[in-house]
Amino acid sequence: MKKLYLLVTALVLALSSNGYAYEGDFSRDNTCYINVLGGANFLQTEIEEGVRTDYRTGYIVSTSVGYEWCYGLRLEAEYAFRRNTIKDLHFFGRSFPADGRFQSSSYMGNLLWDLPLSYLGCDCWDIHPFIGGGIGYDFQLIGGSIGGFDFREKSKHFSWQVMAGLAYPIFCNLDLMVEYTFHKGGLNHLYNHSIGAGLTYRFGAWEIW
């Protein structure tokens, strides 16, 4: 994640040092916002100790509060809940149906950048793309049963994520957004791919003295 932050910082400094001004929406500088998002969560799995678990498509719900800084940079705190049910287990070369679930609660700090398309000469109907990344902490749970045997595993670990999306203003201070997130928590054999849509509401400018 340090590499991502360094890349964003380098790009901003490069634009400034070459005499280019950020041509985004300056009315959004020094503005607080809140957003909510919901969508589908897909679990990419790997073999662990000879066992691979397949999951059905699940869901994600999240909310975050943030602060729009300068040059299109945003800082935000995010909470996200993900849940997928188990489809089957694979071991000894065979598949076994299982009943269970994977779920996680994530507490993340994110840094995002609204890309200045107007500087690039690409005014795309007020669409604002953004990229970003974050670090935080996950509380994860896998539980269920197979053949009458119950299993349950809890873990608490450092987590990280990267995301990209598009935002479109629909009414006053309200934006519609779509977002893709790759999220990696503590369990080494699980990777989350989330695609969702949500709303962002801005409260107005807060001047920094």
Tell me whether residue 97 is in a domain: yes
Q: Which residues contact 18 (CB under 8 A, 6 or more apart)?
A: none
pTM of the model: 0.79
Rounded to whole angstroms, how far apart are CA atoms 47 and 142? Answer: 15
CATH number at residue 184: 2.40.160.20
- pLDDT in the model for residue 37: 98
- pLDDT in the model for residue 25: 52
Tell me whether residue 19 is in a domain: no
Tell me whether residue 128 is in a domain: yes
Rounded to whole angstroms, how far apart are CA atoms 172 and 190? Answer: 40
Domain that holds residue 180: 2-10+24-204
Tell me whether residue 148 is in a domain: yes
Pairing of strands 73-91, 52-55: antiparallel
Tell me whether residue 18 is in a domain: no
Tell me whether residue 146 is in a domain: yes
Strands (E), 92-208: 94-97, 99-114, 128-146, 149-171, 174-184, 190-205
Tell me whether residue 209 is in a domain: no
Q: What is the pLDDT along the chain (209 residues), one digit of tens a residue?
A: 444 444 444 444 444 444 444 444 545 667 899 999 999 999 988 777 677 788 999 999 999 999 998 888 999 999 999 999 988 877 776 777 778 899 999 999 999 999 877 655 565 568 889 999 999 999 999 887 766 677 788 889 999 999 999 999 998 889 999 999 999 987 777 899 999 999 999 886 544 43
- Based on the structure, what is the number of domains in the chain? 1
- pLDDT in the model for residue 203: 87
